[in-house]
Structure 1
Amino acid sequence: MEAAELKDEVQGNGIAEKPDLIDLRDTGRFLATLEALNCSLALSRRPSGVALLGVDKGVPTLSACMLPRSMGLAVEGDRLAIATHREVIVFANAKAIAQQYPARPNHYDGVFVPRVAHFTGNCDLHDMALDGPRVIAVNTRFSCLCVIDGFFNFTPFWRPPFLTDFTGDDRCHLNGMAFHDRKASFATALGHTNTSYGWREGMADGGIVMEVPSGRIVASGLSMPHSPRVIDGQLYVLEGGRGHVLQIDTTTGTKRVVAELPGFTHGLAVYGGVLFVGLSKLRMKRGPQGLPIESRGELVAGVAAIELASGQVLGILEFYNGVEEIFDVQVLPNVRRAEILAPHQWFETPSIETVHGGMWELRDDEGDNA
């Protein structure tokens, strides 16, 4: 696969960098699978930013914008929520006017533009879900599940029952939430700990899955679990420290390895009978952490496609440069060629859309002088 252009913009000074060449390699049938499903993927990535990945006539389409410390993602209908360092930004697909986007007419079938920003402060938001006008999020710094709706920075509604204080010191690294039938049903944490950053001491095998709201521990002894999801009535969890996709029996806690992958697993979405799993290289700035996956040699950053029914790995799209981690993955149905505009980009090319239609505005730097 030839290198694809990943278009990033620099925040702060408003100056656009030249497009970077990102070397994408499809090790199987990943791109063919994505194209057959007629969807794109939203990927939050590190060093930073969000990329929209699609396939059109066999060729990958990749668009990105820089957002500070982009983390959790959520999709509902035509809306995409993105957690950044101190805010959650809700974007909407202005699909009715996407073909008229001035920078590239008659090309995009989706242009995601910012609509709402919630200023949360530094909460280290991981898994999220959109529930109508509300954002439901895992607030890792404050060890709670919370609602973000504009009344407060956030409103906690559930904490693991073993926590004794409401503090902002990441006591158990609560990170994952299965939001199913419009309610949170399961949550993951890296430790059953009640001290400031206590989970770091045993993160190689101290991870747990809890039932919500009871707090019952469904499974333990996990190596850095993330991204719990209820799919067809079954609980799936990513075990990052082993590179596993697990299915867990919620009654007995029995774990079944669905797939073993060549990266730290983080970010899980399902669509059309296919699991999409984010893969990352390990952060080695603190040195080895004693994770089982550390003995497996060089890991990859990318996304895997797995057939849900069989566990067969259909393909892995590897990022050979420019991306070290995939933090979260969400599916954008019925979109192949998408653009996303960070707030400062939208200010340069603003749009107006209502139920009666929409338009792209030509910016008037002088303002109204009528």
Structure 2
Amino acid sequence: MDEHQPDALELADDAALINLRDTGRFLEVLASLKCSLALSRRPSGVALLGVENGIPTLSACVLPRSMGMTVSGNRLAVATIHELMMFANVSTLAPHYPARPGYYDAMFVPRMTYYTGDLDLHDMAFDKQVVLAVNTRYSCICVIDGYFNFTSIWQPPFITDSLPDDRCHLNGMALHAGKVRFATALGESNEPFGWRANMAGGGILMEVPSGRIVARGLSMPHSPRIIGGRLIVLEGGRGQVLQIDPGTGEKRVLASLPGFPHGLAEYGGVLFVGLSKLREKRGPQGLPIEREREKLVAGVAALDARTGEVLGILQFYNGVHEVFDVQVMPNVLRAEILSPNEWRETPSIATMTSGFWQTRPREEDEDANAEGKA
């Protein structure tokens, strides 16, 4: 990869000033696909990343420990520490947003919240009107539909209870034709937090629903996906993108990256991979990536889905330490997302036939109406 490093770009964020740098052709690739990316990030929140005239556009909101996400049409679901929050794109109102009229082509506003409790949700996917989610704390894949906090639909065969003790750190699922086909975990353990004993090399890839272990010896695997008929898995502890044969478990390295990979999405023949720095407060964890790379970056990598060639990496120099999940938003170029508190300041009202932004407090409307009747 030819690395071209222009001066860092500074973009305003809710919490801090974020410095970005494109190494390679990341922005060019994103612009050519005419899409934006939704990023679940640490420090906590969601960022929407697009490109306009070769310059990155970044909108962000702060949420309590944002984790897994999923996008379907105009819907965006974001897992937080105790909730699953649903956002809707009010695209017809986006150009009329009072704070920046005539600019946005997408505006994600809070629509509904499921109070799940602390489930530590990782990979998620919409299944019609419900959400399928990897429930890491309870070692299961579950459905979230509002009837219960969650409903378990699958557990690894070696898990004997459904308790909040994160026995194997189940974290990823790969879907095909609307069904979960594979899942990843950081360990084959039935003891509370037992996966930590061999975190650096005890990761597994399982077939669903049989529970057959396809591959062992993985270093912190995440984000399995079936893309173009191939099974792709991120191996976080080695900083690699793997292709794994689902029959034999044979592994082939597609790419090695300068960060801890977590979060994978494909669009238009391009793989977008989230990259993170390791959490300093945890200290050395004995991972291969710690020995092989002196400095890790936080950002997003763009890879050729067929060859694994790194097309470019967008690095975050501050304001973002981890990218937890990556989702693609097709046909969106300039998006904004409003946290619940931001939406309450300027609510949007949308119906099947009309919509508007409420630009002044309700009390002012009531006062004006009372004066009119006097």
What TM-score range do you get, normalising by the shorter chain? over 0.9
* C-alpha distance in 2 between matches for 1:5 and 1:318: 13
* Cα distance, 1:361 vs structure 2: 1.6
Q: Any idea what SS the aligned residue of 1:96 has?
A: coil
Q: Tell me the CA shift for residue 260 of structure 1.
A: 0.3
Letter in 1 for 2:337: I
Distance in 1 (alpha carbons) for counterparts of 2:338 and 2:271: 27
Alpha carbons 2:272, 2:326 under 8 Å: kept: yes
C-alpha displacement of 1:88: 0.6
Q: 1:67 and 1:254 mapped to 2: Cα distance?
A: 39
Q: In structure 2, give the amino acid aligned to 1:359.
A: F
Partner of 2:124, secondary structure, is strand
SS in 2 for 1:32: helix
Query: Does 2:81 match 1:85?
Result: yes
Gaps of 5+ in 1: 9-16
How far off is 1:311 after superposition?
A: 1.1
Equivalent position SS for 1:208:
strand
1:289 aligns with 2:285: yes
String of CA shifts for 1:215-237, please: whole Å, max 9, x gaps: 01111100000000011111100
Deviation digits for residues 85-127 of structure 1 (CA, Å, limit 9, x no counterpart): 1001111111111100111000001110011111100010000
1:357 matches 2:354: yes
Cα distance in 1, alignment partners of residues 285 and 45 from structure 2: 26
Match of 2:153 in 1: 157
Query: Counterparts of 2:206 and 2:71 in 1: how far apart (Å)?
Result: 24
Instruction: Give the 5 Å matches for 1:39-54.
Output: 39-54=35-50
TM-score normalised over the length of structure 1: 0.95
Work out whether 1:313 is the aligned partner of 2:319: no
Aligned position for 1:188: 184
Q: Does 1:329 align with 2:335?
A: no
Specify which of 130, 153, 170 is matched with residue 134 of structure 1.
130
- Among 6, 12, 33, the alignment partner of 1:6 is 12
Q: Match for 1:249 among 231, 234, 245?
A: 245
Distance in 1 (alpha carbons) for counterparts of 2:10 and 2:77: 25
1:145 and 2:144 matched: no
Alignment of 1:258 with 2:254, yes or no, is yes
The answer to whether residue 237 in structure 2 is matched with residue 231 in structure 1 is no
Partner of 1:14: none
Are the counterparts in 2 of residues 4 and 62 from structure 1 also a CA contact under 8 Å?
no
2:352 maps to a residue whose letter is V
CA-based RMSD: 1.2
- Structure 2 length normalisation: TM-score? 0.94
Checking the alignment, whether the CA contact within 8 Å between 2:172 and 2:184 is kept in structure 1 is yes
Residue identity opposite 2:329 in structure 1: L
Corresponding position of 1:12: none
Unpaired stretches in structure 2, ≥5 consecutive residues: 1-6, 370-374
Query: How far apart are the structure 2 equivalents of 1:155 and 1:217?
Result: 24
Shift of 1:355: 2.5
Instruction: Say which of 181, 202, 206 aligns to 2:202.
Output: 206
- Work out the percentage of aligned pairs sharing the same amino acid: 67
CA contact (8 A) 1:96 1:357 kept: no
Partner secondary structure for residue 247 of structure 1: strand
* Number of equivalenced pairs: 360
Structure 2: distance between partners of 1:260 and 1:55: 25
Given that residues 302 and 318 in structure 1 are in contact (C-alpha distance below 8 angstroms), is that contact kept between their aligned partners in structure 2? yes
Q: Distance in 1 between matches of 2:359 and 2:322?
A: 37
What is the deviation of 1:364? 2.6
In 2, the alpha carbon distance for the partners of 1:287 and 1:104 equals 43
Q: Secondary structure at the match of 1:236?
A: strand
Task: Indicate which of 345, 348, 354 corresponds to 1:348.
Answer: 345
Q: Distance in 2 between matches of 1:176 and 1:340?
A: 26
In the alignment, is the contact (CA less than 8 A) between 1:191 and 1:203 conserved in 2?
yes
1:368 is displaced (CA, Å) by 4.4
CA distance in 2 between counterparts of 1:81 and 1:363 reads 28
CA drift of 1:132 comes to: 1.8
Give the Cα separation in 2 of the matches to 1:235 and 1:181. Answer: 14
1:55 paired residue among 51, 54, 61: 51
Are the aligned partners of 1:247 and 1:255 in contact in 2 as well (CA < 8 Å)? yes
Runs of 4 or more consecutive aligned structure 1 residues displaced over 4 Å after TM superposition: 367-370
Query: Does the CA-based 8 Å contact 1:4-1:60 persist in structure 2?
Result: no
